[in-house]
Amino acid sequence: MVWDPEDFGVLDIRAWSTLAEVLGPAPFRALRRKSYQRAFESSDYDLYLAVVRQLSRLTGLTCREVDMALYVYWDRETRGGNLYVG
């Protein structure tokens, strides 16, 4: 199932940006070239999912939990953790 949070994540520009910042050099260099103006392609999701699955195995988290952690990191680093604080 593609919606199974154990094995699949949600491709989000904020989580993508976190990976691009944190992972550094190749093979993740392609992550840095993506911008807010460009649409994601299926090959982007393949790369993203491979990285998220690897992080999932290393941490014992589900892919969805890795997604959420990447998002929270982005929010804290770029917005001070107050993206949805009214």
**Helix/strand/coil (H/E/C) assignment for every residue in 28-63:** CHHHHHCCCCCCCCHHHHHHHHHHHHHHHHHHCCCH
Per-residue pLDDT of the chain (86 residues; tens, 9 = 90+): 456 777 888 887 788 878 877 776 555 555 555 555 566 777 778 888 898 999 999 999 999 999 889 888 888 877 776 666 54
Residue of 57, 44, 47, 4 whose CA lies nearest to 27: 47
Structure tokens given for 47: 């790369």
Q: Is the pTM of this model over 0.75?
A: no
How far apart, in whole angstroms, are the C-alpha atoms of residue 15 and residue 72?
8
